[in-house]
Copies of this chain bind each other. A is one copy, B any other.
Amino acid sequence: MTTEKRTVIYVSDGTGITAETLGNGLLSQFEGIAFRPMRIPFVDNEEKARDCLARINEVGQRDGIRPIVIMTQTNSECSAILHQADAYFIDLFDAFIAPLETELGSKYSRAVGRSHGHANPEYNSRIAAMNFALAHDDGVSDADLKNADIILVGVSRSGKTPTSLYLSLQFSLKAANYPLIPEDFERGHLPSRLQPYLHKLYGLTIAPEQLHRIRTERRANSKYSSLENCRYEVAAAEKMMKREGIKWFDTTAKSIEELSVQLMQELNHER
């Protein structure tokens, strides 16, 4: 029996997140093929490897076609067991670790998931950055704006919150964000508490039509979500950012990943 979807199994002795991230990037290149993802994480001893081997083979039997296994596995005994499966393997460590050992003149240390965890100072700074982003979301607090790495401004629902959180989680950046509201436009100047931080302010803007759609989901038939008001707010915000010399980005057709990487380039923030 064949199936219309090709099963992709992410296998790892850790979380499998590295394998899955790569898999999403690779497989999205193949249009017109539907994939069914499956995850088998924490395969970190030979017994689990044998169970995993059996599950991979079962999937192949069920599908009538061998599954694709995308794998990070630092334990060579487990790896050898898993490779007995009837599957198409994309083995990240096999492909890259051995050659890297030669290049670096160093043996790898077989440490699962060393790139995240409490013992790792970088991990703790990511969590601290996320807490900062949450505490400084939407102008809730300006207690610590001087310690922000970046402050995003823009009208409500222009994408500030998801971008701030992504910047914190992915790049350990302390990202605050501050809404531009009609009162600011009437006053004709930026909120005064932002004035000292012009050098780290970046703006987000968005097409009024898309803003209207997003706000309508939140609060339909209100002044807040009306297309007319969205047009007014976006124009007023862009005018203000222009006058203050704040560089801004249009979020209409960008993912938070793309936006975050562009902001990182602006900051020239090379860790």
Contact = CB atoms under 8 A, between A and B. Distances in A.
Contacts of A232: none
A1 interface: no
Nearest to A119: B253
A17 interface: yes
The oligomer's copy count stands at 2
Contacts of A252: 118
A199 to B, nearest CB: 22
Contact of A17 (B31, B127, B170): B170
Interface residues on A, range: 35 or more
Interface string A20-45: 01101110111111000111011000
A93 B29 CA distance: 10
Contact of A30 (B26, B100, B161): B100
Interface in A49-92: 68, 72, 74, 88, 90, 92
A42 B261 CA distance: 9
Interface of A: 6, 14-18, 21-22, 24-26, 28-33, 37-39, 41-42, 68, 72, 74, 88, 90, 92-93, 95-97, 100, 103-104, 106, 108-111, 113-118, 123, 127, 130-131, 134, 137, 161-162, 165-166, 169-170, 252-258, 260-262, 264-265, 270-271
B41 A261 contact: yes
Nearest to A40: B265
Given A33-B104, A37-B271, A92 B25 contact: yes
